[in-house]
Amino acid sequence: MKTTLYGIKSCDTVRKARRYLDEHGIEYRFHDFRADGLSPARVDDWLRQLEPEALLNRRSTSWRQLTEAQRADLSPAAVKALVLDNPTLIKRPVLELGHRIEVGFSPERYQTLLGS
């Protein structure tokens, strides 16, 4: 099964997830939102599996910089446009296991998902 971890290199939570995967010998590819970009098709796939709010990091500086109108519209189309314009709005990391995704990191959840 192909495993990809999406995030931002400098994010502490992403670092914890990467350390977990490395320490448990799990092969994965790291995709940095800032360096590698993000495709509309990828975001569409995520939004088919998640509620739009689940993809957003509401504690981020990027979220606080949005207008009230932008924060109020959480339709899939609006969230897609927001995260494509500003990937730092995405709650990190996003772990893609084949066609399944997990947002955020906890060692317990990763252990359950990855059987490690």
Q: Are strands 29-32 and 3-7 parallel, antiparallel or unpaired?
A: parallel
92 half-sphere exposure, CB direction, 13 A CA radius: 24
For residue 93, give every residue at least 6 positions away whose Cβ sits within 8 Å of its Cβ, in sequence order, or none: 5, 6, 7, 11, 13, 14, 17, 103, 104, 105
Residue with tokens 């975001």: 43
C-beta of residue 89 within 8 angstroms of C-beta of residue 83: yes
Known catalytic residues are: 11
